[in-house]
Amino acid sequence: MKYYSTNGKAPIADLSKAVVKGLAEDRGLYMPERIKKLPKEFFDTIETKSFQEIAYTVADAFFGEDVEAEALRKIVYDTLSFDCPVVKVKDNIYTLELFHGPTLAFKDVGARFMARLLQYFTSNTMDTSKPSINVLVATSGDTGSAVANGFLGVEGIHVYVLYPKGKVSKIQESQFTTLGKNITAIEVDGVFDDCQALVKSAFMDEELNT
């Protein structure tokens, strides 16, 4: 499957480039060119499937052309090692609770999936003589915790979390400053927008990317 930038000025990318680059050359976000329609049978039998089975079927519709079936299944099942219960709000209205992961943030789901997908695309091409791949993330709390935990211990990848000094809750700050290993937290004397600007500038820096 191919991916386009939401700003419409960057070249079309494959999944590997979209995952590794993270941000398109024109600072847009990558989106799939098409979304596959799931078969009627999937919806007719959905009540008989586990949460992980449902997630794998959906993931396969998006990524099955680019990721081997067993590898994708492992990525999905590792990502969703915790339950995301559907809770009734009132008649005919239900909510999917995504905050039961390791950092209690809904972003655990996306961050853990991203970490494993990035590892899949880089593990086969990684040159062990070169430094590890560096992941930069700006956060005001949830994102840093989820990304740091999702990438914790992932071989060949080092995460740098930029966060605004004195503007993150103590619990969330502890979640990404005490992990060690391949996680480095950097306190920035500014606000979240300053952290985000530093990360985006780094993404666009040709020498740094090389």
Closest CA to 121 of 1, 46, 19, 32: 19
Catalytic residues: 107
pLDDT, position 144: 87
pLDDT, position 200: 87
pLDDT, position 203: 82
pLDDT, position 141: 82
Block means of pLDDT (10 residues each) for the chain, 210 residues, are: 94 93 88 93 95 95 94 95 93 94 91 91 64 84 88 88 92 90 93 92 83
| DSSP annotation string for the chain | -EEEETTS-SPPEEHHHHHHH-S-TTSPPEEES--PPPPHHHHHTGGGS-HHHHHHHHHHHHHTTTS-HHHHHHHHHHHT-S---EEEEETTEEEE----STTSSTHHHHHHHHHHHHHHHHHTT--TTSPPEEEEEE-SSHHHHHHHHHHTT-TTEEEEEEEETT-S-HHHHHHHHS--TTEEEEEESS-HHHHHHHHHHHHH-HHHH-
pTM of the model: 0.80
The answer to whether residues 141 and 168 touch, using CB atoms and an 8 Å cutoff, is yes
